[in-house]
Amino acid sequence: MKDSRATPLSNVSGMSSQRLTRRVAIANPEGFHLRPQRMFVECARKYPNCTVTLSLNEKRVNGKDLFDLMLLSVNKGTELTLEVTGPEAQAAIEELAAILAAESLDDGTTEPPSAEKGLIPTGVA
Amino acid sequence: MRMSDFVVREAIIPELAATSKEGVIRELIESLHKAGYFKGGDLEDLVKAVMKREMLGSTGIGHGVAIPHTKHSFADRLIGTVGISRTGVAFDSLDGEPVYVFVLLISPQDRPGDHLRALENVSRSLRDDNFVRSLRKATTREAIWNLLEDLNQTT
């Protein structure tokens, strides 16, 4: 994967490109199952200028590909590494982390992730 | 876990008659029933449970594949079946395309890990467009089962 510091993305809406990484534990008792996975993909695709990846140990998958996400097989309590690169990385990572950290999606409401989840900006173009 | 670990061979449908979402789900559940599962249970209750899950968001994952599923007390272990539609079924899929390959999964209430591993396995198998094409070309239950078995030997 290209380093965003070496290949700055185009400036969109006045925001500079950046690469953000956050570790988020899956809170849903059913694990990271198909419905939150689909929500995650649909959310990630709202950011066409961002790349989104999820990592678990040696597995690293495209966050915009549902078949990829299904390969992760993640139970409750497992921590994933979410990485977003692009001009809207900050907004995207907030939305995507909230989906991973939601305990339940059944009532249509999701709890936002706790304020501090170890945000690690690793580069600003 | 392999697809042949949870797919009930006798319940595979090489040519679905139904052309609607609910019709396909009912046909797959009835096929499992005919194969000896859910005896004494209310099949409509199972159909409703799977449809309720679909109402929360389609299980059409794109590439012509859907994985309708539910947890239900009728199941004491994860079981499933495969059905092929020749005409394609509108399923509100992620890519907006019709679904041709259905993998129905019925899980026990308390085994979310098995369900996640089944999803992983379905993805690993059906992300290969050539394999999906082969499934769609298969015309008999045996042919579909053999494809699933061959997959076990190559993965």
* pLDDT tens track for B109-130: 888 889 999 999 999 999 999 9
- The number of distinct structural domains making up chain A is 1
Q: pLDDT of B64-92, one tens digit each?
A: 999 999 999 888 899 999 999 999 999 99
Residue A8 lies in a domain: no
Residue A46 lies in a domain: yes
Residue A3 lies in a domain: no
- The mean per-residue pLDDT over the stretch B131-150 comes to 95
Q: Which of B55, B94, B125 best tests the A interface by mutation, with the highest count of A CBs <10 A?
A: B94
Name the closest residue on chain B to residue A75, using Cα atoms: B113
E-strand stretches of A1-125 = 18-25, 51-56, 59-62, 79-86, 120-124
Cα torsion for B40, B42, B47, B50, to the nearest 10°? -80
**pLDDT, chain B, mean:** 93
Choose between B4 and A118: higher pLDDT: B4
Residues B3-154: name the CATH superfamily. Answer: Mannitol-specific EII; Chain A (3.40.930.10)
Residue A61 lies in a domain: yes
Residue A7 lies in a domain: no
pLDDT exceeds 60 at position A14? no
Residues B128 and B107: their CA atoms lie apart, in Å, by 25
Domain ranges across chain B: 3-154
pLDDT exceeds 50 at position A112? no
pLDDT exceeds 80 at position A109? no
With an 8 Å Cβ cutoff, are B57 and A38 in contact? yes
CATH code, A90 = 3.30.1340.10
With an 8 Å Cβ cutoff, are A35 and B57 in contact? yes
Write out the residue range of the structural domain in which residue A44 sits.
Answer: 20-124
Of B63, B67, B119, the CB nearest to A73: B119
* Closest to B112 in 3D by CA, of A74, A21, A6: A74
Query: Number of Cβ pairs closer than 8 Å across A and B?
Result: 55
Q: pLDDT of A25-83, one tens digit each?
A: 999 999 999 999 999 999 999 999 999 999 999 999 999 999 999 999 999 999 999 99
From residue A40, give the alpha-carbon distance in Å to each of A37, A52, A100, B40, B142.
Answer: 5, 10, 8, 39, 37
Q: What percent of chain A has pLDDT over 90?
A: 67
Residue A113 lies in a domain: yes
| Sign of the dihedral defined by the CA atoms of residues B66, B32, B15, B141, in that order | positive
The answer to whether B132 and A82 are in contact (CB under 8 A) is no
Q: Which of B1, B58, B61, B78 best tests the A interface by mutation, with the highest count of A CBs <10 A?
A: B61
Residue A29 lies in a domain: yes
pLDDT exceeds 60 at position A125? no
Residue A13 lies in a domain: no
Tell me which H or E stretch contains B103. Answer: strand B99-107
Residues B4 and B149: their CA atoms lie apart, in Å, by 7
The answer to whether B117 and B6 are in contact (CB under 8 A) is no
